[in-house]
Every structure is written in structure tokens, then in C-alpha cells.
Structure 1
Amino acid sequence: MKHLLLCVLCLLAIVCIPVYGQGKYTNPLPVKFGDPYVLLASDGRYYMYGTGAGAVDGFCAYSSDNLIDWKPEGQVYRGNMAGSWATANFWAPEVYERKGKFYMFFSADWKENPTNELENFRIGIAVSDKPTGPFREMSDRPLFDPGYPVIDGNLLQDSDGRLYLYYSRCCYKHPVESEVASWAREKGMFNEIEESWIYGVELQPDLSGIIGEPVLILRPPVTNEDPQAEWESRSVTTGEVNRRWTEGSYIFKKGDIYYMMYSANYFGGKNYAVGYATSKNPLGPFVKSANNPVLEKNVEKGGIVTGTGHNSVTYSKDGKQMYCVYHGRTQNTGEERVVFIDKMGVDEKGNLYVEGPNTTLQEIH
């Protein structure tokens, strides 16, 4: 009888797998992505895309019903093939659903490189009938050529139907004078400091190109008195590298305010962190928040997480709970970037917050 009861209990345990709204999990997830992006598609499932995870010249994907249990969907896009403009360094895919199609924005090296630039990144679009691909490039050229390397394309589909692309100009060959740069020279640390800046530009409705000229949205602080200077300059001030980043933007609108989240510092280092800025207009001007950074390493507070950054935002299926999806590292994962999902929100005063990095048991609502 005891054996029968035990069997019944085991069967119940198998049947009663946590479902959406009842599932619990701990970070990090068993997904080795950098730059993770999660799409909640019209079929009611979540799809995650990111950099790495074993993809060859392209990107893999995972799917989930509950943001907890992720099924590998294999490689969904591959470049560096006949007719492809993209040859190497495939980074930061983001997928958007529009009119029954799925559009993947991604960064890669452009095959047209007559001056043999070490960083020749551009942004392109691939399209598919399904969120699991196969994605095919819309053109044999990048979306546009600003004349400098660009990465981290992020799309805003505004309430009036207009489309805006945000991207990061790479640090490569972009030395910028600032008080931090002068300080680094005086200390004998670095002769120059290169910076990446975030730009925005309107897109054609059919995603065939840009409208007008890109507008500078965000950049690292110029003066040391700037309240953002300390946390955005840590990669320089710790002697890590001679670059300051403003990259990995993610924009969303809440009410009449546009919130742009962004990452600063070296993506491969412990100081990678997330801040945000707000504006009343999609192309700015944006003002950085006084409570930045909203997501950063926690090892100084007894935690195990470093290198938190390049986030996206997704929602519970009822639309009530926001989640911040980002990559980080732990003492156990070493240099491998892995995915974290933490609750986030905007309080009654309009302040954005992220409840992370969290490595304790938590629940998906």
C-alpha cells in the first residue's frame, strides 16, 4: 500500500509541473546568450534570441510558454552565405512581429570593406514567416551606411505608427576629449579614450531604409561633475580599457514618456551596468536618470553576479508585470555570459527600477 501511495504521489508531482503564473525559478537561466532579447509573439509564446549559444555565422533561438522552461529551437538565421552582406561577428539580434511577419534586426561585419577596417559592423534585417525562422536577409546590403561601424539595433513602433531605429556608434576610431580622458593621460594610463554613442533615426514604413539624418541621443559624460560620470567611466578609471561605451539601447513608451535603457562600460568586464534616460519625444532630447545605474554587479554587497547589461524588456501575458532580460556572469559561470530575468517596473513618480540581479528563488506572475 505504501508503494502504491508513493507511486501516486510521484505521478502527481510529474503532472503538477508549474504552469504560467505559478512557476518558480532562480537566475541565471540555463541559456548561454549574450545580448538576450525576448519577444512575446501573437501565438502566446515567448521567443528568446541572442549572441552566441553555438550559432555558426548567425543566431539561435529558444521558446517558452512561461519564461522559465526554455526549449532550444536551433539556429534560425545564418549569414556569410551566397548573397549575404554579413560575413562575421553576428551580434545582438532583436525580432519584431509586424503584419504576420517576423523581422530580425542584427549587427555583423559588412563584406564591403575596401579600407580593411578592423571593425566594419553594420545593421541589417532578416525576415521570416515564423518566429523560429528560417530568417532570410531582406537585402544584400545593410539597412544603411552612416560611414562608421554601428551595432545594437533597437526598434520603436510608436503609437502613431511611425518607426524609429536606435543604434550604437562603435568606439572604434572615435577618440573623444573629456575630463576623464585628460585624467587618464595625466595618470599615464591611456593616451586617448574612444567612446560609443547612441543615435536614433526614423525608418521607412516598409523597413527599406532611413528617413533623414541620425540624431545623437546619448553619450558618456564630458565632465567629472556630471552625476553619471563615476559609474559610466569605471572601465577607464579601473584601468580596464581605454573605451567608454553607451550601447545596448532598449526603448519603450509608458504614458507620454519614452524610456531608453542603455548599458555602459566594457561588455566583457565586471563593471558592465544599465542606466536609463527619459524624453517626451522619440528622438529626444533625453535626460539621464538621477538614480542610475538601475542594474549593476552585486559582489560588493555579498552577491555573485557581475557584468550585468545589454537588456531587453518583456511582459507577463496579462501585460501587468514587466521583466528585464539581460546577460551577466557569476562565480560559477566564469567568463560565459548567461541570461537573467528579473522583475522591473516604473513607480508612481516615473522612476524605473529593476529588482536585480537576483539569484534567489522567485516567481513568474
Structure 2
Amino acid sequence: MKLYKGIAVVLLMAGIFTSCHNSDKSTQTQVAITYSNPLPVAFGDPFILSASDGKYYMYGTGGVEKGFGAYSSDNLVDWHFEGQVYSGDQPDSWTVKSYWAPEVYEIDGHYYMFFSADWKENPTNELENFRIGVAVANQPTGPFTEISDKPLFDPGYPIIDANILQHDGRTYLYYSRCCYKNPVESEVAEWARVQNLFDEIEESWVYGVEISNDFTTVVGEPVLLLQPPSTMDDLQTEWESRSVTSGEVNRRWTEGSFAFEHNGKIYMMYSANFFGGENYAVGYAVADHPLGPFAKAENNPVLEKNIAIGGEVTGTGHNMVVWSKDGEKMYCVYHGRTKRTGSERVVFIDEMKIDENGVLTVDGPSTSEKEL
């Protein structure tokens, strides 16, 4: 087991013993934890489970071969590597490669991992053949075993980035349809042709669908929830189209969704642009029902590169939200890159808030020392 420490953990101790009018005051000790991003964890698509055993467990893309590893922590800063917790490409597995974006949920004493992988069944030799599966374990460190020898379902196109929300006794699955073979006409696509950048623009879209509470079957048909804007004058078009307008790639993404409830509303955070580039960024949308309709926020993006303002962080995206153990603070957990880490994706954590008007903000990306 390898121990990973945060950049800085400072114990601020105030134990002051004074005497006044012959009356003793008890010793007071105050402990504060400080840290600096990025955390020393090289994951893409990080997900943190706040488990009932009092620990945090982090899962993500990368770090192990053909599967997923995990880290554990008592405080969100010091992380211990727990080893590989799920191994794919087994004889009875539906998977073969490309293991991405695991999310783990603790339900009724079991731990369920939703993940994306390349499906072995590929009679037409598609270059992208991703589907979503579920694995289960008796403890957060695994081993996780697939609950079926097939993906959860087959919508007829490649899908990634599973996320679930349990609401009013029902379970909803969110996922992203890949850009692969999904060219979409829009004013942005027409602009790209006029500029001689790209002949067509492929898009990925976020869908939602109800699934059974035992995570084995889909209930009803998927509903399209989020997609890139189609017109140039849309408030979201500029930031969601940067990978195209910069000439980087002929794709616009809506992916990495994470849904949660707050004050009777469903908030869905999502990422746009190329995950491997500097323009990856995060926005959010709000709905009254888990299957929408969702309205994108006017203050998007809420998380993006900061190099234009003197920072050193790029590629910020595929986030999730974790709460402090006392429920008082929300943290945005995401991956990004710095000049020092190069192309490797590493984990960041920054506090986020939702004000009295329902406006969500993230205090990041940060690299300076700050208190957790």
C-alpha cells in the first residue's frame, strides 16, 4: 500500500491556558486542514464516494490496466492507494478495453459501480463501441464483479459517462451519446464550413432514462436532456464550441454529467469541448424533474482554464460533487492539467456554493494553498 500525502496539511493548534480571577479555562485545540491543487492523484473523471465507514473513496479513469483503481482518505487531502478494485476483459465479461469514468454508490450495504467500456460484441467493427455496465462489491475497495455478462442496455449507438440519481423511490441513469457518427447541422457547423475548418461537426448529447432499482433493466425510452446550442447567438455557444472555433477538432461535446438535488431542484453539471485539450470546461443546467426539461445557467461556464488571467490550469472537466461529512460544504471534484503535470490528468478539489437565488459557483480552478 502506497501512502499519498496532500501538498500541505497544517495543524493549527491553539491550546492557551490562562488564569483569571483564580478561574481556569479549559485547553482549546483548533485543527484546520489546508491543501493545494492538484492532489497527487493521476485520475481522469474522478468520483468520490463518502462511505458509511467514515472514509472517502476515490475512483477514476487510469492508474491501472484494464479496469479501475481506488484511493481512500479520512480528510479529502491525504490519499492511500488501495490497488485495483475492478478488472475487466475477463472470460465472462462483456468488456474488452477503454475503461472509463467509474462511479460508485453505496446502497443497502453493497457498493455498485457504474462504468463505461468497449463492448466485445462488435460485428460491424465500430471504432467506438462503448456501453455502460454495472459491477457490485461488498466493500468499497472491491473486488467489483459485473452483475451481468452484457451491458446495462444497448441504445444502438456508443455511450459513456454513467451517472445515477435516486429520486422519489425511482432511479434515473444519465449518460452521454458519443460524437461518433453523429453529425449535426447547426449555425456552428455552417460557420466551420465557411471558415474551411471542417466539413461536418459531430456532437455528443446527454440523455436520461429511468432504470429499475436493482440496476438491471431500462424502464421506458431515453430522453434527450442536453446538447450543444444550434445558433451562434445562443449564450452558451461560445464556450461550448471552443474546440471547433479554435480549429482543434470537428466535435462538440456534452458529457460527464453529474446530477444532484438542491432546494427542490435538479442540478445537472456537465462538460463541453475536447477532454484532451485545454478548452474542456464545466457548466450546469437546472430542472424541476429528473428527466427535465433542463435550462442551462446564464453564468456558464462555472469552471474553465485560467491561463488567460495568469493561472496555470487547463482542461478542467468531468466533475462531480461531494459533501463534507457534516454536510456544511460542497466540493467540486474534477480533473485538469497544469504546466508541471503536462498532458496527464490530475485531480482538483475546490469548494462550490449555491446562493439564495439558485446560482451555482465554483471557487476554482485553484492552485494556491487554501483551507478545506
TM-score, normalised by the number of residues in structure 2: 0.92
Instruction: State the distance in 1 between where 2:252 and 2:11 align.
Output: 49
Residue correspondence of structure 1 range 233-272 to structure 2 within 5 A: 233-272=241-280
Aligned to 1:129: 138
Could you say what secondary structure the match of 2:190 adopts?
Answer: helix
**Given the alignment of the two structures, is residue 45 of structure 1 paired with residue 55 of structure 2, yes or no?**
yes
Q: How far apart in 2 are the matches of 1:121 and 1:322? A: 31
Contact 1:20/1:65 (8 A) holds in 2: no
Letter in 1 for 2:90: M
Write the distance in 2 (CA, Å) between the matches of 1:357 and 1:221: 25
Are residue 72 (structure 1) and residue 70 (structure 2) matched?
Answer: no
Q: CA deviation at 1:17?
A: 9.5
2:204 aligned residue: 196
Task: Name 2:19's counterpart in structure 1.
Answer: none
Q: Partner residue of 1:116?
A: 125
Question: Structure 1's 94 and 21: CA in aligned 2 closer, same or farther, altered over 3 A?
Answer: farther
The residue aligned with 1:220 is: 228
1:318-356 Cα deviation digits (max 9, x unpaired) = 011000000000010000000000000101110011000
Name the SS of the counterpart of 2:188 in structure 1. Answer: helix
| Aligned: 1:290 with 2:298 | yes
SS, match of residue 89 in structure 1: strand
Measured in 1, the distance between the counterparts of 2:33 and 2:10 equals 14
* 2:231 is equivalent to residue 231 of structure 1: no
Could you say which residue in structure 2 is the equivalent of 1:308? 316
Per-residue deviation at 1:161? Answer: 1.6
Return the letter of the residue paired with 2:367.
Answer: T
- 2:357 aligned partner, one-letter code: K
337, 359, 364: which one pairs with 1:356? Answer: 364
> 2: distance between equivalents of 1:20 and 1:144?
51
Over the residues paired in the alignment, what is the CA RMSD in angstroms? Answer: 1.5
Identity of aligned residues (%): 67
Displacement of 1:47 in angstroms is 0.3
Q: For the residues of structure 2 that align with 1:129 and 1:17, how far apart are their CA atoms?
A: 38
Moved over 3 A (4+): 14-21
Q: Which amino acid aligns with 1:342?
A: D
Of 129, 134, 138, the residue aligned with 2:147 is 138
Cα drift, residue 16 of structure 1: 5.9
Q: How many residues align?
A: 349
Q: 1:28 to 1:139 in 2, by over 3 A?
A: same
**What stretches of structure 1 of length at least 5 have no aligned partner?**
1-13
Q: Once the 2 structures are TM-superposed, how far is the Cα of residue 22 of structure 1 from its aligned partner?
A: 1.6
Query: Hey, what's the Cα distance between the residues in 1 that align with 2:240 and 2:215?
Result: 33
* Residue 274, structure 1, aligned to residue 274, structure 2: no
Q: Gaps (5+ residues) in structure 2?
A: 1-8, 14-28
Letter in 2 for 1:77: Y
Q: Is the 8 A contact 2:11 2:33 kept in 1?
A: no
Distance of 1:356 and 1:214 partners within structure 2: 33
Task: Report the Cα distance in structure 1 between the residues aligned to 2:240 and 2:31, rounded to whole angstroms.
Answer: 37
2:164 counterpart (155, 176, 180)? 155
CA distance in structure 2 between the partners assigned to 1:342 and 1:15 by the alignment:
18
- 1:52-108 Cα deviation digits (max 9, x unpaired): 02x111000000000000000000000001100011000000000000000000000
Q: Is the 1:219–1:246 Cα contact (8 Å) retained in structure 2?
A: yes
- The residue identity in structure 2 corresponding to 1:264 is A
User: Is the 8 Å Cα contact of residues 11 and 32 (structure 2) preserved in structure 1?
Assistant: no
